[in-house]
A = this chain, B = another copy of it.
Amino acid sequence: MTSTPTRPAEHRPVTDPDAPAVYTAGTPVALGRRAAAALSFRNIGAVYVWLLIVVIFSVWAPETFPTATTVKQVLNGNAVAGLVALSVVAPLAARVFDLSVAFTMSLTSVLTAHFLVNAGLGSGTAITLAMTAALLVGVINGIVVVVLRVDSFIATLATGALIQSLITMVTNDSSITGLQLLAKPFASIAQLDAGGITLPVLYLLLAATAIWFLLEHTATGRRLYATGFNENAARLQGVRTGRLRFMTLVTSALLSGFAGVVFASSVGSGSPTAGTPYLLSAYAAAFVGATQLRAGRFNAWGTVIAVLLLGTGITGLGLATSAPWATSLFTGSVLIVALVLTGGRIALPAVLRRRKPSPAEPVASPDKKV
């Protein structure tokens, strides 16, 4: 880990101001430059890798791959994975690892099923209760990490084990199934679709938009990043870092808990291991995402792109071959290629960088000022 993926300062040529699209426009020239920067390989390299993958599979499986169905399949098939990946973005921005998300997801999946099937409650009540449990998980994580000051990596591993034991108590380690899970009100949560796009895709977009807004456009987001980059400096400037880190843990628990509910609805059962397969891939997506768009910052759309990039490839592979080893081979190589090519590299020491004076720098070039 050595160091965070990358910081913006370091990879972009100094001449194009790191300018998120947020900042006001300017002259046409500036606009053009901004657009070029936004479309640069550095900035959205994963998108180019993605395009390459699309081209490859379109050639490889020309009848089935380049179709609208594939688009829908990729979106529908990766919505839950995307939600889980998004759930770790805000914590990571504040440099908090939440490894319990997988367990929280399993927990809400089995609790929802339990309340619906075994306790015979209605969908609304069942989901509310399950989400309350997720909230509780978030609060407990927050207490252990922020109040008791245990390192988040190990603390959330520990709370993950606690959640696991709760899951085992509820389910006796077997899936909870029942017709209620397959029937209308509940099944619709994940299965209702419009033109072949299911609701979870909408949730994914909403969650990504919300996180993007939070991180990019609000004071809280800026403070979150500040907390993550340099907690001491942030605290020195009056940022309530502890409170923010607490908040991210609650957010991740709620979001991954919601992913568990959606998962239960989509497969029609509450599985005690629902979340497990999503953990590492969620982190992979968040880390790849951090090299995109806002290089060096964990961000929502970068993460979504990473999820879809991998999802597209796996779907394409499924259409083109059925070798059981193809998926992992593909995932591994694409991750490496995407990271190497797009500069998903380790931050070079900030200080040395900083000593590299930029040509444009000498202090007061007036046109730089807004």
Residue positions of A touching B, CB distance < 8 A: 1-6, 94-97, 99, 144-145, 148-155, 157-166, 168-169, 172-173, 228-233, 235-236, 245, 280, 283-284, 287-288, 324-329, 331-333, 335-336, 339-340, 344-357, 362-363
Q: Is B288 a contact partner of A95 (Cβ separation < 8 A)?
A: no
Q: Is A346 a contact partner of B288 (Cβ separation < 8 A)?
A: no
Q: Is A145 a contact partner of B232 (Cβ separation < 8 A)?
A: no
Q: Is A288 a contact partner of B154 (Cβ separation < 8 A)?
A: yes
Interface of A is mostly: helix
Q: Is A339 a contact partner of B3 (Cβ separation < 8 A)?
A: no
Q: Is B153 a contact partner of A345 (Cβ separation < 8 A)?
A: no
- The contact of A149 among B6, B149, B228, B329, by CB within 8 Å, is B6
Which of A96, A324, A353 is packed against the most chain B CB atoms within 10 Å? A353
Q: Across the two chains, which residue of chain B brings its CB closest to A354? A: B3
Bound-complex Cα distance A349 to B340 (A): 22
Bound-complex Cα distance A231 to B7 (A): 13
Nearest Cβ distance between residue A352 and chain B, in whole angstroms? 4
10 closest Cβ pairs, A-B complex? A161-B332, A162-B332, A158-B335, A1-B351, A165-B329, A168-B325, A149-B345, A165-B328, A3-B231, A154-B287
Q: Is B232 a contact partner of A1 (Cβ separation < 8 A)?
A: no
Q: Is A150 a contact partner of B3 (Cβ separation < 8 A)?
A: no
Nearest Cβ distance between residue A300 and chain B, in whole angstroms? 18
Q: Is A339 a contact partner of B157 (Cβ separation < 8 A)?
A: no
Known contacts A165-B329, A326-B165, A332-B160; decide if A350 and B284 are in contact (CB<8 Å). no
Known contacts A287-B153, A336-B144, A336-B158; decide if A354 and B362 are in contact (CB<8 Å). no
Residues of B within 8 A of A172 (CB): 324
Can you give 13 A-B contacts (C-beta < 8 A)? A1-B96, A1-B349, A1-B351, A2-B351, A148-B336, A154-B283, A154-B287, A154-B346, A157-B283, A165-B325, A232-B349, A232-B362, A350-B355
Bound-complex Cα distance A336 to B157 (A): 10
Which of A3, A351, A355 is packed against the most chain B CB atoms within 10 Å? A3
Bound-complex Cα distance A331 to B351 (A): 24
Q: Is A230 a contact partner of B325 (Cβ separation < 8 A)?
A: no
Bound-complex Cα distance A231 to B96 (A): 21
Residues of B within 8 A of A144 (CB): 336, 340
Known contacts A2-B95, A2-B245, A149-B4; decide if A335 and B230 are in contact (CB<8 Å). no
